[in-house]
Amino acid sequence: MRFLIALLIGALSAFAFEPVGWWPLIPLALAGLCELVWRSKSLWQALAMGWGFGLGQFVIGLNWIATAFTYQAAMPAWLGWVAVVLLSLYLAVYPALATGLAWRFSRERPFALVLVLAGAWPITEWLRGTMFTGFPWNPVAAANVDTLSKVVPWIGTYGAGAFVVFLSGALWMLRRWEIRPLIAWLGVGVALSLLTDWTVKETGANPRQVRVIQPNIGQQDKWRPGFDEQAARQLAMLSMAPGGRHPRLLLWPEAAVTNPLEDSRLDENGAFARFERQRATAVIGPGEYLLTGGLSIFSNDGRRIGGAANSVFVLGQGGRELDRYDKAHLVPYGEYLPMRPVLSAIGLSRLAPGDIDFDSGPGPETASLPGWGKVGFQICYEIIFSGNVVDRRNRPDFIFNPSNDAWFGRWGPPQHLAQARLRAAEEGIPVIRATPTGISAVVDAHGLIVRSLPWRQVGVIDAMLPAPTSPTLFARFGNVIPLLLGFLLMISGIVLGRTRR
């Protein structure tokens, strides 16, 4: 019965995240989880409570993954829900580790349980984001970005998760009428007010304008034969629409141009790629640039395809390629098929069109754009990886995050945007998102949305490029901070659990 309750409160906690956004469900659910762990009679029961909680949260919160399967005609749609459940069965292991540690070291001391759980949570969330290529989707902090963006620059997303779990545990302890949680609430509130009073200075405004294009091209049309001509006209029309200042920086979504923009084969394919670049840049004038998602085709001998990449191109007038970024953190089953010989033999395939697996790039890079400063790149879900979105040796002035959320249903896009906002607040760097169907947005260096376009709406965003801040504490030290915080809380809880009443 307790396992079913854990499953239920985990499922309810999923509604704390976008697009529902009932964020109070998170502290209430975590307080309920503390009670379930406290009542556990063995380590296995405590592990089961965390596993059931995680299973319920991930199955509901990741329902958008099932939607992606509806765009792959080669596989049945019901297979999407099988994928969601199987993935959730694995992801739930991480909250189970946190609850198991909390029970093991609390020694029947409620405050010790809270401390160990709050310390173990950021460590297990970090592990979830790094193990087996990582999938850190919907960390606890993503449930209330507006509030937690004030502490994220100091302790990171995972540290903010520890903060939420600690306060949830204090809420649970209030039912016991103990004074310590009240003192804890007061201490954390004072610390939070001090942190938020230390304003991070912006490094100066950039008076240049950016234009983000959202053509509202759905996944059902994007790769349809012959649709590339219509898409090109739609992108050009929106790019040339009146209202923008000159010179401009144009930003198009991930894979906005479906035909390759670079092809190293020495035949008509290479010439066609040059034509696509010239057609795309016909909308820009002197001193303007186009940043667009596109495909790169590689060839070792100039004849046969040797590889491909999901790329962002920095293009100038006449189709000049000034720089290119190749996506480094690829999506399993989306951009490459793991164990291809085995899985393809049983009828499985990539969810995205094409039989060629993408090659991964070297990681975060920074390009210089005269007049606009330095830009970093993160393609699609690369933006969800805390501490791994910028080149720290060459800090950018803003991050361009082109994405294609067109096949992630109603829940995926707003959850994706929430995590992009966390990256902006962590690093003190604005993030500009361009997506084909929304939600496109300009996010400032504090994680606040300056301008956005709703889901499934055609339009453009004309906005002044927000300024970055000076490097935040997290930008300097990365996830060392939340991991140290987690271990400090855990050790404090273990010591408290071993002391006599």
Digit-coded pLDDT (tens) for 405-434: 887 888 999 999 999 999 999 999 999 999
Q: What's the pTM value of the predicted model, to 2 decimals?
A: 0.90
**Full 3-state SS string of 87-124:** HHHHHCHHHHHHHHHHHHHHCCCHHHHHHHHHHHHHHH
Parts of the chain with a pLDDT under 70: 71-75, 176-207, 223, 243-246, 333-355, 500-501
Contacts for 398 with CB less than 8 Å, ≥ 6 apart: 373, 375, 376, 429, 430, 431, 432, 465, 466, 468
pLDDT score for 199: 44
Length of the chain as a residue count: 501
Q: How far apart are CA 135 and CA 129, in angstroms?
A: 5
Q: Write down the residue that tokens 């500009």 correspond to.
A: 432
DSSP 8-state secondary structure symbol assigned to residue 456: T
Q: What is the pLDDT of residue 197?
A: 47
Residue by residue, DSSP assigns 275-331 as: HHHHHHGGG--TT-EEEEEEEEEE-SSSSS--EEEEEEEEE-GGG-EEEEEE--SPP
Which residue in 380, 382, 426, 427 is the catalytic one? 380
Three-state secondary structure of 333-372: CCCECCCHHHHHHCCCCCCCCCCCCCCCCCCCCEEEECCC
pLDDT of residue 198: 47
Catalytic residue among 34, 125, 327, 335: 327
**404, 407, 408, 409 alpha-carbon torsion, rounded to 10°:** 130
Judge contact between 322 and 316, C-beta under 8 A: yes
* Paired residues of 453 in beta bridges: 440
Q: Where are the domains of the chain?
A: 2-200+478-498, 210-215+249-278+288-471
Residue 380 a catalytic site member? yes
Token pair for 491: 């050790």
The answer to whether the beta carbons of residues 490 and 115 sit under 8 Å apart is yes
Catalytic residue among 125, 254, 365, 426: 254
CA distance linking residue 366 with residue 148, whole number of Å: 28
Q: What whole-number distance in Å separates Cα of residue 341 and Cα of residue 343?
A: 6
Q: What integer pLDDT is reported at residue 314 of this predicted model?
A: 94
| 34 is an active site residue | no
Instruction: Indicate the class that CATH gives domain 210-215+249-278+288-471.
Output: alpha beta
Q: Please list the residues that pair with 399 across neighbouring strands.
A: 376, 431
